[in-house]
Homo-oligomer: A and B are copies of this chain.
Amino acid sequence: MKWCRYQVGDKISYGTIEGDTVTAVEGSPFDSYTETSNSQPLSSVKLLAPVIPATFYAAGINFKEHVTEMAHKRGEEPQFPPAADVGYRAVNAIIADGEDIIVPNDATELVQYEGELVVVFGKKCRKVSEKDALDYVLGYTIGNDVSERTWQRGDRTMWRAKNTDTFKPMGPWIVTDLEPDDLNVKIRLNERLVGDYDMSGAIFSVRHYISRMSQYLTLYPGDVLWMGTDGAPENMKDGDICEVEITDIGTLTNKIVWEK
């Protein structure tokens, strides 16, 4: 099943997608909903980010090659995370599939993509086991954890490095009933393959993250967990098109626009 959030005129709805058709629901997949008879071609609506989370979690560092390559770029030895300690991103930065990533004019050239699997929670959960963890997931979407590396290294926090407005593209929709460990992520910059990794290579799995987080905190419907990226990202320039494709979900596509 494929869920989206979209806008027609001033009206914002959640909807289900079958083939090239979107059908509106009243309500949302995060509480209760009823189907409507209001269907239209997917191409005739504006897709929005599929959810605005109450809390926006991000694994951050969760793949060995990414840790190793980023450490080498800084001239340091890689340090793998000893535990699934989650981080945070901010909703001000979220944009939808097809919207532009606007880079502030005082950014350095080190503005990079990080293509990631996004877990979207569907039910409230607290203190769940790894075995039961996926029961609380509505589905999966795609994220691009855009990062300005100079700010990431120099600032005390990652506030502007990762949470400048437009730096968190997410979408295009949410797909249910996937096995996260089986998914593959491909990243393309101007149609050139620049990243290709399997979620099975994650240091900590989706099930492990959910179970560990839920020992201390309550996860709510609509919360999201971005799972981190692998590989060594390249810089993006003004006008570049970045695509993140994940098996059985689709492709998230955004253009880089450097502020004049």
Contact = CB atoms under 8 A, between A and B. Distances in A.
A219 to B, nearest CB: 8
B216 A164 contact: yes
Contact of A55 (B61, B92, B218): B92
A92 B155 contact: no
Interface stretch (A82-90, A110-118, A136-144, A179-187): A82-90
A123 interface: no
A33 interface: no
A160 interface: yes
B216 A155 contact: no
A27 interface: no
Contact of A155 (B83, B93, B157): B83
Contact of A85 (B52, B54, B90, B155): B155
Given A54-B91, A55-B91, A92-B55, A85 B156 contact: yes
A216 B85 contact: no
Contacts of A93: 217
Q: List 5 A-B pairs, minimum CB-CB distance, nearest first.
A: A85-B156, A160-B216, A88-B88, A164-B216, A85-B155
23 contacts: A52-B54, A54-B92, A55-B90, A55-B91, A60-B157, A81-B156, A85-B155, A85-B156, A85-B157, A85-B159, A86-B159, A87-B157, A88-B159, A92-B218, A92-B219, A92-B220, A104-B216, A159-B216, A160-B216, A163-B216, A163-B217, A164-B217, A165-B216
